[in-house]
């Protein structure tokens, strides 16, 4: 999702560039003023609250505004992103937006600030007043509005400069030149977006072999906990020795160790288009860990895939695998196979249900040849890549 905040003093040309951004990138326009007028006109609960405040001469509270914005975002689930105009207007609202974005499992992609000297803004607005006849476009009012912008909004710019997502553009250029600079910024932002896939499926569904093939085809880093743990043991690292001790005593490797390895993998991997996770998360706790870990690295889950195969087919596949060099410890008897399938259902199905509430979980028919299933997966991933652009 591409979320952009457009800033600039009165007369900077935000209206013109907003129209361009909405059309070019299929963004949903969020203007607090327009949203408030719409809520009041529709006589919603929040609209009536705002109306009472305005009629009493007060300012509409952040609590009302953030609820209206949240309702707007959640009410447009098919949008490719949102363009914020007039919000956040204050330092406090910047924190409010950060919290709201976290709740909605997204983030502000960038803030674009159209920089225009005060005298240029004043002249532009005075010229506009001659055309529009707006009574509020006189010099005294204009300079007061510019002063308010500097005092309240400049701290917001500093907030996002510290986050490294504030981009300043010379707003005195021609409309087309400003537009081209905006295009360059958006292109840079989009180039940093990763496609992070979590691939689920019962043991025997083929998620491992499919995950590796998908990673190779789309330049994704394949992240599987089992091979990472084995690699640490083979390298005889401090963590590897600890893992070996746990294995030998029949204990499970704790999340603290697994997360260290996954974070190390994410931090050290460069020049890939994203990650594909297999075998993690297995539990609800691990799903929250992965969300937080990706958020820490400025990313999030893009796609969740569940490969579906009928139970009898799974048992048949695992039984056949037990007679090959790919045999897993739980493949050696029907009793162990059934127990492993039951364990997956108990621990991992709740994770998938959680992701259904937060992301699109795409169910893929896992029956057929490897190539047939692979093509189904490729169709889904390529569509997701399109939406990232």
Return the CATH number at 323: 3.40.50.300
> What is the mean pLDDT of the segment spanning 364-368?
96
**Distance between CA atoms of residues 39 and 8, nearest Å:** 26
> What is the mean pLDDT of the segment spanning 346-366?
88
Which residues form the domain of 343?
195-388
Q: Both 352 and 245 in a single domain? A: yes
Residue ending a domain, among 191, 213, 248, is 191
Q: Both 181 and 203 in a single domain? A: no
Which pLDDT score, from 0 to 100, does residue 30 have? Answer: 94
Q: Which helix (H) or strand (E) holds 162?
A: helix 139-163
Q: Both 179 and 227 in a single domain? A: no
Q: Does the structure show a pLDDT above 70 at 121?
A: yes
pTM of the full structure: 0.59
Give residue 368's pLDDT band: very low, low, confident or very high (50, 70, 90).
very high
Which pLDDT score, from 0 to 100, does residue 387 have? Answer: 65
Give residue 154's pLDDT band: very low, low, confident or very high (50, 70, 90).
confident
Return mean pLDDT, the chain: 89
Number of compact structural domains in the chain: 2
In this structure, of 92-106, 125-139, 167-181, 214-228, the range with the lowest mean pLDDT score is 125-139
Percent of the chain with pLDDT over 70: 97
Give residue 370's pLDDT band: very low, low, confident or very high (50, 70, 90).
very high
Distance between the two ends of the chain, CA-based, in angstroms? 10
Residues 6+ apart with CB under 8 A from 1: 79, 80, 81, 82, 106, 109
**Distance between CA atoms of residues 5 and 87, nearest Å:** 7
Q: Does the structure show a pLDDT above 80 at 386?
A: no
Q: Which helix (H) or strand (E) holds 375?
A: helix 370-388
Distances 37 to 40, 47, 176 between C-alpha atoms, Å: 5, 8, 31
Could you tell me how many residues make up the chain?
389
In a domain, residue 73? The reply is no
Whether a cis peptide bond, with omega within 30° of 0, leads into 92 is: no
Residue ending a domain, among 136, 162, 191, is 191
Which pLDDT score, from 0 to 100, does residue 68 have? Answer: 93
Instruction: Give per-residue pLDDT as tens, 29-54.
Output: 999 889 999 999 999 999 999 999 88
Instruction: Give, as one character, the DSSP assignment of residue 85.
Output: E
Residue ending a domain, among 191, 226, 251, is 191
**Distance between CA atoms of residues 389 and 372, nearest Å:** 27
Q: Does the structure show a pLDDT above 60 at 358?
A: yes
Angle at the Cα of 387 from the Cα atoms of 385 and 389, rounded to 5 degrees: 80
Q: Both 134 and 202 in a single domain? A: no
Which pLDDT score, from 0 to 100, does residue 77 have? Answer: 80
In a domain, residue 41? The reply is no
8 Å CB contact between 304 and 359: yes
8 Å CB contact between 121 and 14: no
């Amino acid at each position: 999702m591409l979320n952009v905040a457009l800033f600039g003093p009165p007369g900077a040309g935000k209206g013109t560039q907003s129209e361009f951004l909405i059309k070019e990138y299929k963004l949903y326009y969020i203007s607090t003023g327009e949203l408030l007028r719409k809520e009041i006109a529709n006589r919603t609960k929040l609209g009536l609250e705002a109306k009472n405040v305005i009629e009493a001469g007060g300012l509409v509270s952040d609590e009302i505004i953030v609820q209206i914005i949240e309702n707007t975002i959640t009410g447009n689930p098919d949008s490719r992103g949102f363009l914020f105009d007039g919000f956040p207007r204050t330092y406090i609202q910047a924190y409010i937006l950060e919290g709201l974005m976290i709740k909605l499992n997204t983030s502000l992609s960038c803030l674009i600030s159209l920089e225009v000297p005060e005298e240029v803004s004043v002249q532009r607005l005075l010229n506009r007043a001659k055309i529009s006849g707006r009574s509020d476009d006189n010099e005294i009012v204009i300079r007061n509005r510019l002063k308010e912008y500097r005092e309240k909004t400049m701290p917001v710019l500093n907030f996002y400069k510290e986050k490294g997502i504030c981009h300043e553009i010379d707003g005195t250029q021609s409309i087309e030149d400003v537009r081209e600079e905006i295009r360059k910024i958006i292109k840079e932002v989009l180039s940093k977006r990763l496609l992070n896939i979590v691939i689920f499926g019962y043991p025997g569904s083929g998620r491992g072999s499919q995950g590796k093939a998908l990673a190779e085809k789309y330049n994704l880093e394949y992240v599987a906990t089992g091979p990472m743990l084995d690699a640490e043991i083979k390298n005889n690292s401090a963590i590897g020795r600890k893992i070996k001790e746990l294995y030998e005593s029949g204990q499970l490797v704790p999340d603290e160790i697994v997360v260290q390895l996954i974070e190390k993998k994410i931090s050290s991997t460069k020049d890939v288009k994203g990650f594909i996770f297999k075998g993690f998360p297995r539990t609800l706790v691990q799903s929250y860990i992965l969300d937080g870990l990706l958020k820490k690295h400025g990313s999030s889950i893009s796609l969740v895939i569940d490969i579906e195969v009928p139970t009898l087919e799974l048992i048949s596949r695992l039984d056949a695998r037990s007679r090959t060099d790919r045999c897993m410890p739980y493949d050696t008897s029907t009793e162990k196979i059934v127990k492993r399938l039951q364990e997956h259902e108990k621990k991992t199905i709740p994770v998938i249900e959680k992701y259904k509430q937060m992301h699109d979980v795409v169910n893929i028919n896992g029956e057929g040849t490897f190539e047939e299933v692979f093509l189904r997966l490729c169709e889904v991933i390529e569509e997701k890549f399109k939406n990232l652009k």
